[in-house]
Structure 1
Amino acid sequence: MPRKRNLLLAGLLLILSLILIWPQGRLFPDDYSTIIYDRDGEMLAVFLNQQEQWHFPPDEALIVPDKLKICVTEFEDRWFDWHPGINPVSVVRAIGQNISSGKVVSGASTITMQVARISAPKSRTFWHKFLEMFTAFRIELRYSKDAILKQYLDHAPYGGNVVGYRAASWRYFAKRPAALTWAEASTLAVLPNAPGLISPQSNPQLLRDKRDHLLTHLQAEGIIDETTLKLAKLEPIPDRVYDLPFNAPHLAQKLSLENPGENIIHTTISSSLQKQAEQIISDHARYLQKYGIHNAAALICDTRSGQVLAYVGSQDF
């Protein structure tokens, strides 16, 4: 009997080990916005993804800005750098709360567990919570902490059809994530917690309260000083969403249609020259109308390299 028991135990351990180390497929499907860049690496145009969302494709070369990283980990998971995907203390506390209520009211979710949940949304049950923990542990074995945080930020919901921190930074603040203030970084840190409930459009006051609570915590922890706290709390909550760039529209649409599945497209367009060309076409088109000419286009190229520097398909789009 002891020998059979030992063999059974060894077999179970082997199966568990294989499950843990077995290669895991991609966490998220490749359904991202298409971004077209000009010759200087600035966004020329952005298109919605197949689900009609603004969701920028992940870029491994980009580093999460320190302010945003600090705000997110302090709000969502203060022990993120230390736990193996599951915070045992939080789990024990959550189990007690869930048993007493008879349902899942506290999930003890770590950032890694949230990556697991976002990648495969399921109903809130004890069994699904266990699967979430198990998946989180597997994710920790496969990815670095920085990569896990990036996965979370790249795919977290930010209200409406905005997904991912980069799209959120541009839609709510019209700036790169690296340029976010402490108040703006705190706003993006708390939004995914309940994007439908505390979005700037649906409940700006509740969003402000949660943002300010996080800012107060940052000051209490010595991360920001009193002056920074006071100034940050004076910053308004975004009251609108900004349009993403849609320049050189004829060329942008042409490239998007000709390159299905390509989420990042680089061009040789000079944004400044493109704007000048569009203005010249617009000005001259009005003058030419009296001669029965009702449209105009322009293509500007570098004669030495053959690169297209400006592409105007018509006098207006």
Structure 2
Amino acid sequence: MHVVVVGSKAFDSLEYHLADSLRMLAHTSIILDVTDIMPVPAKINYWGSRFVERYDRMVSQRLANKIVSLGPDLVLVVYRHLHPILVERVKQQLPGTPVVQINPDHLSNLEKQQIIAADFDCYFSKEPYIVDFLRNKAGLNAHYLAEGFNPRVHQKPTVEKFVAEWLTNIDVLIFGNLYAYRARMVDQLIRAGVNVAVYGTQGPYLIPAVRSAFRKQYLVGEAKNRLLYGAKIVFNNFHYAEVTSVNQKYFEVNGIGAFQLSDYKATVDEYTGVPSEQVTYRTLPEAIDKIRYYLAHSSERHELAQQQYQHFQQQHTFDRRVETLLRTVGLSESSVYEEWDA
């Protein structure tokens, strides 16, 4: 089967992992981005499409034409900011090809609700709350699909955990977009005397204490694996708009074999391979207490990290997610995995 994935070509993006898993499952796949049909920087294209209706329609029509010319058996659209005319044109010209939307983000990133306006054959979201209102109120064919990790990219380093921690020398590591909400939490950790190292993309309004902890490095590839695994604790504070869901980092950290302390969300109980109360927090004071506890009990955090690693390798890879997606769409008669009950 030939699949076109519409979205970013960036390494370690959801689109990258979807395409990689499709190939591992013996399908062919290609990632098609807007920049493939419009010779302008992605940011200029995004803002042009957001405010100029004619430009927005033109870009999506050209993208639809390119998709049709590739003759796919399935179209997976990850972007949420494309004009609904893209889906309309593809379905008109490829009537037997399912056009599917897979939303990897939380509630606040629905853009101008283009995906709801578009007539996708099927919708997938990691957020049960989004699935509920799409299916039960908007009348759409929506399904829950958790995110995952790519075992060919997110790999556990070969050194022992205690050696990696000694080499890395980081007590608590935080990575991702350093927006104001996350920065406030980092500030509270620093005020409590926690030694924090922050990696990722710097946001605005950073106070000096948080800026001093920022390492100015976006983690990807081998460096990401090495630093996450080598940190004593990876602190994962989800975006406030994650109603009941988690982020993709949650799966990556556990898949790498690092020790993770994350926000508690209802879906964690479904994902985790250890009791959720051991590896989550509900308040910052609770998080600080658990950070202090696990920094003082290395054997316990190593054992929990290993249990999570083994569980996530078996249950939460992108290969499994893609199998579930294809089965739901009706394009996979059998699976190399047992169906993950979500």
TM-score bracket relative to the smaller structure? under 0.3
Structure 2 length as normaliser, TM-score?
0.20
Higher share of residues assigned strand: 2
State the structure with more CA Rg: 1
RCO greater where, 1 or 2, for CA within 8 Å and sep 6 or more?
A: 1
